[in-house]
Amino acid sequence: MADENNQNTNASAPNNSVTDDQPGVPADAVAEAKNEADKFKNEYLYLRAEFENFKRQAVKERSDLRKYGAERLVADLLNVLDIFETALATELNPENVANFKKGIELTSHELRSVLQRHGVTEVPSKGAPFDPNVHEALSSHETNEVEPGTITQVFKKPYKLHDRVVRPGQVVVARPKTENNGN
């Protein structure tokens, strides 16, 4: 009966016995440390799985953004295309040429408006100083009418998407006239 009392006492009392593999460390401290380590391991595995899911989702979102990022722009441009198709279906005759021209001008205005809503802006160039970050000089011509380095003619206008040049302008730049006295 003494053994039974000993066992019952040991079961209800904290285990202060020393472990064999860790001399001087109570067994309940080792068990508590193992439980805590298991808890941290489970949390780590959960967080790792969450991070893997996050990475997969981020890759999918980037892929979708590349694939469908222009969807709003395309929808707006399709409206402009519809207007052009309607104009092309119109039979031209001397009586409606003025209206046709006005319709094309309105369509051009609509296209510019669509581009502007999506962050595309024209960079004013004629009469501005040449900027190699925005302009591509196709040629230069001699003149004393404007300062050297000033853009005198624009073949293609430069455009920016927000703050990035998406198409450099093709321009002609002024250079000073050389004086030839015939000597």
Query: What are the pLDDT tens digits along the chain (183 aa)?
Result: 445 544 444 444 455 554 555 567 788 888 999 999 999 999 999 999 999 999 999 999 999 888 888 888 999 999 999 998 988 888 888 888 888 899 899 999 999 999 999 999 999 999 999 999 999 999 999 998 899 999 999 999 999 999 999 999 999 999 998 876 444
Q: E-assigned strands of the chain? A: 120-122, 135-142, 151-156, 159-161, 164-167, 169-175
Helix spans in 95-164 (H):
97-117
Domain boundaries, the chain: 121-183
* Count, residues in the chain: 183
Largest Cα–Cα separation, the chain: 135
**Two tokens, residue 143:** 């003149």
Of 2.30.22.10, 1.20.1260.10, 2.40.30.10, 3.90.550.10, the CATH number of 121-183 is 2.30.22.10
Does pTM surpass 0.85? no
Q: Are 173 and 147 in contact (CB under 8 A)?
A: no
How far, in Å, CA of 157 to CA of 136, rounded?
10
Taking the C-alpha atoms of residue 82 and residue 113, their distance in angstroms, rounded to an integer, is 15
Integer Cα distance of 92 and 101 in angstroms? 10
Model pLDDT, residue 11:
46
